[in-house]
Amino acid sequence: MHFSDEQLEEILVKTDMLAAKEFQNLKSEAKKQNKNILGLILERNLVPEEYFAQKNAEFLQLPFADISQKNIRKDILFLLTEAAARENQVIAFDKNEEGILVGMVDPENLETIEFLKKAFPSPIKIYVVAASHFRQVIKQYRRGLKIEFKEIIEKSIRLAKEEKKDPAKLAEDVPIIEIVNTILEHAIYENASDVHLEPMETEVIIRFRIDGILHDIISLPKEVLTGIVARIKVLANLKIDEHRLPQDGRFKMQKEDFKVSFRVSILPTYDGEKIVMRILNESGQVLTLEQLGFQHSSLKLLKNNISKPHGMLLVTGPTGSGKTTTLYSVLSILNTPEVNISTIEDPIEYRVARINQSQVSAKIGFTFSNGLRTLVRQDPDIIMVGEIRDSETAEIAVHAALTGHLVLSTLHTNDAPGAIARLFDMGIKPFLIASTINIIVGQRLVRKICPHCITNYVPEAKEIKLIEEQFNVAEIMEVMVRERIVEKAKKFSDLRFFKGAGCEKCNNSGYKGRIGIYEVLANSEKIQDLTTKKATSEEIAKQAKVEGMITMVQDGFIKAKTGITTLEEIIRATKE
């Protein structure tokens, strides 16, 4: 979709979709961030994407089709291959006397139109469709997972019984290859972060972790387990005949519309070998800090501090809270031809051009500490250490920061002020911590409200009471007023919040995707004084809030008030 600023103002302000002042603020913000206004509006879910698609259809004098709930006939859907449909963002969705009805996300793409004319034997009629609707119906290529498995599973079991094959040969059987490929592709298209293959007494349960929550996907007969495990071991270059010890490996998978790596962990259990595969996107697209969820004064504070030539930037939070993703986003900003960036990671989660990445290996004694010691001799400007796990690594990292390097790393603590106490515990002298740290980021991940079924409500008295018992509501309101989220005269009990009603597009969960909630602690003079005096985390947090730090809880409530997440998610994510 291509709209000029004037067109956007006409279709948004003059139709009361956005207030004139809000539009002008977005225009200024987009200019500062070097983005277009439309992208910013869609990113923040301020106006439904379908609205713009409809307006685009009007401008181009083409019909618009709402295909979001369309159950497409299989013979029509497969007139185009899934790969071609995804690559060109087009879909055949119906047929009538005019010909085949084809939905296009970008109907101004002349190359795609020429492709469609050659691809179909009969005439076509082009409709404009919303990108979100396209993403929904494209899943219909995958909807027959159980049906798709039925024949290949039966064939696989039959072959296994007929030919008592060893695992190495089973791994090369076409049915087994098809089963594994289908599971992996389905996981990718469902935006799963992890795939679990869990052997039970009589079956194998396949589960996907989507938006942080595990979902049962399909149950397979136990007879296919040996072949599936063998196939994954072959892909990950692991020992096929080793069934007693855990194994770790990695392999890549690439198609026209995706490129990913799978990090494989195999664990022997009573009922067989259990496999967990972490899916790592290798498309090269690193999310911006804004896309991760940094906003308002926290975003400004972080950007101001990452440009310093030396010192330490620490990201804290529990496992799975997105710390590494945040570090990669920072690195993408710092990654210029003028600097030498080196990393030591366990494991390397994303490959990044122009960054020298090394992976630790305990088997050969290549640890964070001795790897970091070597990196310092590689003439780096910027060093990223995947995690500071011990005193030795902490000491070397602090020394590197003192000697003119910018060091980025992560720590396992509950919040940003807790990182300073953790370094105390590791034996780092307070004056060294005070003089090396630039900034500390604390974070958690929360689920985002599904934009297709979002609804607003005023919390009941019972929910308000629960929140008031757990959180400092007065401080939260003070921050929301300061950040211009609510008016000063408003009471917390009068505020409207949001939740997802549940729909087909979010599997009736009310959530779609995840985003971070953050706190950014700058190492001011007063924080340095407190650190030197070995103050407690509580004392440091108190001073940081006096200086304007937005805590994770407060950032969460801001995101709940602006329709990004729910109060329930904030309560869940911030429990210690």
The total of structural domains in the chain comes to 3
Strands (E), 256-336: 258-269, 272-281, 311-316
Determine the 3-state secondary structure of 78 from DSSP.
Answer: coil
Residues 294 and 255 in one domain: no
**List of residues 6+ apart from 126 with CB closer than 8 A:** 62, 102, 104, 107, 113, 116
Residues 309 and 456 in one domain: yes
**List of residues 6+ apart from 362 with CB closer than 8 A:** none
Residues 160 and 252 in one domain: yes
Residues 309 and 275 in one domain: no
The CATH number that applies at residue 66 is 3.30.300.160
| Of 245, 510, 239, 549, residue with least CA distance to 415 | 549
Residues 444 and 301 in one domain: yes
**Angle 135-137-138 (CA atoms, 0-180°, nearest 5)?**
65
> Among 105, 121, 138, where does a domain finish?
138
- How confident is the prediction along the chain (576 residues), in pLDDT tens digits per residue? 677 778 888 888 888 888 888 888 888 887 777 777 887 787 777 888 888 888 888 888 999 999 988 888 877 887 887 778 888 889 999 998 888 999 999 988 888 888 888 888 778 999 999 988 998 888 777 665 555 666 666 666 666 555 555 677 777 777 888 889 889 988 887 789 999 999 999 999 999 998 888 888 888 889 889 999 999 999 999 999 999 999 999 999 987 667 889 999 999 999 999 999 999 887 656 789 999 999 989 999 999 999 899 999 999 999 889 999 999 999 999 999 999 999 999 888 888 889 999 998 877 888 888 989 999 999 999 999 999 999 999 999 999 999 999 999 999 999 999 999 999 999 999 999 999 999 999 999 999 999 888 999 999 999 999 999 999 999 999 999 999 899 887 889 989 999 998 876 777 789 989 999 999 999 999 999 999 999 999 999 999 999 999 999 999 999 999 999 999 999 999 875
pTM, whole model, 2 decimals? 0.72
Residues 214 and 250 in one domain: yes
The CATH number that applies at residue 540 is 3.40.50.300
Residues 105 and 191 in one domain: no
Residue 26's domain comprises: 5-138
| CA–CA dist 106, 115 (Å, integer) | 13
> Among 238, 256, 281, where does a domain finish?
281
Give me the amino acid identity at 426.
Answer: M
Residues 116 and 175 in one domain: no
